[in-house]
Amino acid sequence: MENRKLKIVFFGTPEFAVASLDALRAAGHDIAAVVTMPDKTGGRGKHIIISDVKKYALEHGLPLLQPEKLKDEAFVEALRAIGADLFVVIAFRMLPQVVWDMPPMGTVNLHGSLLPRYRGAAPINRAVMAGDSRTGVSTFLLKHEIDTGDVLMRRSIEVGPDENAGSVHDRLMLLGAQTITDTVAALADGTASPVPQSELDAEPCPAPKIFREDCRIDWNTPSAKIHNHVRGLAPYPAAWSEFTHGSKTDSIKILATRRGNYGHLTPGTVAPAGNRVIVGTGDCAIEIVDVQPAGKKAMAAADWYRGLHITAGEHLILG
């Protein structure tokens, strides 16, 4: 029997949400409206920046809402007038109860972790930073406390020891699109079985928003932790460090590292090793593979180091 098609209001902003919106539309559901963040201005020319979800909505002629305030009476009434069966939320702001409690079938959220692990704004980064070998996506029904609602589906992937957050993001984006489509189908045909997170086989842990100081590398920590820190923040927002060369102190983003048998160096001390650049950590040295100096494009670490023209006997220190 063909699945029932639902009238859906979709809430989302970044690229991660677009794949799911496209999958729901391809499955034949009625996307009655798309809600995304208001446009911003940015860049040197102060040009208008629109969200990836808005771009998709405009390209496919989907009705669009961009409220400044989610409790705004006119916005709430506009939602109510749509008469949607279900709201779907992916990578959006926290919704007030007057919104998420509106549709008769509830509001479903897709989250980039295996809940209850990594509740919060940065689940993909935090999982890779922690060195987890497995992560995934979860769909759940929204309730008051953030990311705590009853889970509808969880699907997982393996994370490679050298894989970065960008790669994991892209794989979870596709897995999430299939998972949200399957979840909506289960809700439509009445086979969905919500499970309280307290009954799932994982300990709750937070995944708070990442700020600049969270990205700084502490070279006194072990190489494994630094490697996970770097790949968990790559390619964005990127781990970083400072170095002093001559009279100038500058910052540099570390985009990729490699662990190996590189011996020992004092933490933060940089040294060439053939065509490689290695740096000391809290246990053994680690290779810096790719970097992005301030104001420049990403490059191989060896090219960056050669461009500094380090003199014999001089030691470059990252700190």
What integer pLDDT is reported at residue 7 of this predicted model? Answer: 98
Give pLDDT, residue 41.
85
> If you write DSSP's letter for every residue of 132-179 in order, what string do you get?
-SEEEEEEEE--SSTT-SPEEEEEEEE--TT--HHHHHHHHHHHHHHH
Q: What is the mean pLDDT of residues 284-308?
A: 96
Q: What is the mean pLDDT of residues 18-24?
A: 98
How much is the mean pLDDT over the chain?
95
* CATH code for residues 212-317: 3.10.25.10
Percentage with pLDDT > 90 across the chain: 89
Q: Is the pLDDT of residue 6 over 80?
A: yes
Instruction: Give the lowest-confidence range in 23-27, 54-58, 100-104, 271-275.
Output: 271-275
In the chain, what percentage of residues exceed pLDDT 70? 98
Q: What is the pLDDT of residue 2?
A: 59
| Cα separation, 14 vs 146, whole angstroms | 19
Dihedral of the alpha carbons of 249, 255, 260, 263, in degrees to the nearest 10: 0
Question: Which pLDDT does position 148 carry in this prediction?
Answer: 95
SS3 of residue 77 by DSSP: helix
Do the beta carbons of residue 239 and residue 233 sit within 8 Å?
A: yes
pLDDT score at 1 = 44
Q: Determine the average pLDDT of the residues in 277-306.
A: 96
User: Domain ranges in the chain?
Assistant: 7-199, 212-317
Sequence-distant (≥ 6) Cβ neighbours of residue 249 within 8 angstroms: 242, 243
- Read off the tokens for 244: 């002093």
CA-closest candidate to residue 256, choices 167, 171, 146, 144: 167
Host H or E run for residue 233: none
Residues 104-152: pLDDT tens digits? 999 999 999 999 999 999 999 999 999 999 999 999 999 988 999 999 9
Q: Are strands 30-35 and 7-12 parallel, antiparallel or unpaired?
A: parallel
Q: Which helix (H) or strand (E) holds 225?
A: helix 223-232
Higher-confidence residue of 302 and 43: namely 302
Question: Tens digit of pLDDT for each residue in 245-285?
Answer: 878 889 999 999 999 999 999 999 999 998 999 999 999 99
| Distance separating alpha carbons of residues 242 and 253, to the nearest angstrom | 9
Return the closest-CA partner of residue 88 out of 174, 21, 153, 154: 21
Q: How far apart are CA 216 and CA 238, in angstroms?
A: 9
Which helix (H) or strand (E) segment holds residue 15: the answer is helix 15-26
Q: Are the beta carbons of 31 and 62 closer than 8 angstroms? A: yes
CATH fold label, 7-199: Rossmann fold (3.40.50)
Residue 315 has pLDDT above 90, yes or no: no
C-alpha of 175 from chain center: 14
Asked if the model's pLDDT at residue 214 lies above 90, the reply is yes
Specify the pLDDT at position 45: 64
